[in-house]
Amino acid sequence: MIERIDINDLTYEKFMAEYADKKPVIITGAMNDWNSFNWTLEKFGQLYGERSVPIRESTIDGVRNFKKVNLAEYINYLEHNENNWYCDWNFHTFGDQDLVQTYKPLDIFTRETVRINTKKQIFKWFFLGSANTQTPLHQDFDNTHAWNAVIFGQKEWIFFEKSDSPYLYEGKVDLFSDYDLEDYPLLEQANPMKIVQNAGEIIYAPRFWWHQVRNTESTLAVSENFWFETELLNGDSKF
Ligand SMILES: O=C(O)CCC(=O)C(=O)O
């Protein structure tokens, strides 16, 4: 089971002892003072509609095939998003660094962590999509951990521990589809952990944990990837 914990009950020591590099957790009550806290789709469009953003289809192959559009254009398209185009926007890399002012990363994710790699890449994202936009089942790149905060909307997450890797077909199964278990018999041996993440909630996804994520309604989230400093010292990461 994935727990929910209020930020006021979560000390740094508790996070490090019970969750960091161990298991996912949802943190509540930690976004109330963010500039983006009360955003709606309309507001987001008013503020950043002029920006150029990457979008991709939600299929497994879609993640390798991005195109660029105007954010306002994509927002208009969202209402009839038949091909489930998903805006998967690494805004920091795209030159939109000013967006970091719209949220405040929690101390637990910034203290004793590293958020830039040797190639000077920084991984900060906005994810915007309509109902049914989604990611494939995957482990995060370069052994990173991630946090992901829903600003509006809702997400469903399905997690598996690393030890379930032999049963997951290298992520080449869409767990949100009506797949046939006869085609994926090993899946029966895996232990999915499902959780719904609501607006105002932040989820922590530890490195190596498989996850597939789907938006259940029009949803905007902000997310960052990071390593713990100790992992770099141990040579225990693909930094
Ligand atoms: O928010 C999402 O839809 C995707 C999050 C995710 O899977 C990731 O960042 O690895």
**DSSP H/E element including 186:** none
Sheet holding 193-198, edge to edge: 193-198, 154-160, 210-215
Average pLDDT, integer, range 16-34: 98
Between the CA of 135 and the centroid of ligand 1 the distance, in Å, is: 6
> Which protein residues touch ligand 1 with a CB less than 6 Å away?
127, 135, 140, 146, 148, 211, 213, 221, 223
pLDDT at position 233 is 80
Question: What band does 234 get if pLDDT is binned at 50, 70 and 90?
Answer: confident
Q: Cα–Cα distance between 202 and 51 in angstroms, integer?
A: 25
Nearest to 136, CA basis, from 166, 177, 165: 177
Return the domain boundaries, the chain: 3-227
User: What is the chain's mean pLDDT, rounded?
Assistant: 96
Question: Which residue's CA is minimally distant from atom 5 of ligand 1?
Answer: 213
Question: Which residue's CA is minimally distant from atom 10 of ligand 1?
Answer: 140
Looking at the structure, give the CATH architecture of the domain made up of residues 3-227: Sandwich (2.60)
**Whole-model pTM over 0.85:** yes
Task: State pLDDT tens for residues 8-23.
Answer: 999 999 999 999 999 9
pLDDT at position 237 is 72
pLDDT at position 23 is 98
Question: What band does 62 get if pLDDT is binned at 50, 70 and 90?
Answer: confident
Task: State pLDDT tens for residues 213-228.
Answer: 999 999 999 999 999 9
